[in-house]
Amino acid sequence: MSEHASTPKYQAIANDLRDKIVSGVYPVGSQLPTKAELMTTYEVALNTVDKALDVLRDIGLVESHQGVGTFVRTAEIARKADLEARVTHLEAQVTKLFELLNGSDARRGRKGS
C-alpha cells in the first residue's frame, strides 16, 4: 500500500482494497477479509477499517451484511473510480507542466528585453 503521507489511513486502505477488487484479487461476489483480519493486515484500529469500508459502500463497490461479512458488488464502479482518479492526477500534472512552461517563457521574454 503506497499512498502519500497526507492521505488518511482509512482512504489509503479503501484505495488498496479498491485496487484489489479491480485487479481481481477480490472478484465480484467474493467476501472481503473480516474486519479483524483487515485490522491486522493494515495494522490499524477498528474505527479506521470501518471508515475504509464506509468509503467502499458509499461508492457502491461493496455491501455488508451484519453478522455475515462484506461482499464485492461490482468491479465496474472501481474501474471507473480508478480511471477518474488517474485522469484527475494527469490533469494536475499537465497543469503543472503548463505552469512551468509558461514561467520559463516569461523568464526568457524578460531576458530578451
Question: Which domains, ranges and CATH numbers included, belong to the chain?
Answer: 9-112 (1.10.10.10)
Average pLDDT over residues 68-86: 77
Backbone angles phi, psi at 37, to 5 degrees: -65, -40
Residue 107 has pLDDT above 90, yes or no: no
- Using alpha carbons only, how large is the chain's radius of gyration in Å? 20
Given pLDDT bands bounded at 50, 70 and 90, which one contains residue 7?
Answer: confident
Given pLDDT bands bounded at 50, 70 and 90, which one contains residue 75?
Answer: low
A 10 A CB-CB count for 75 gives 18
Given pLDDT bands bounded at 50, 70 and 90, which one contains residue 53?
Answer: very high
Given pLDDT bands bounded at 50, 70 and 90, which one contains residue 38?
Answer: very high
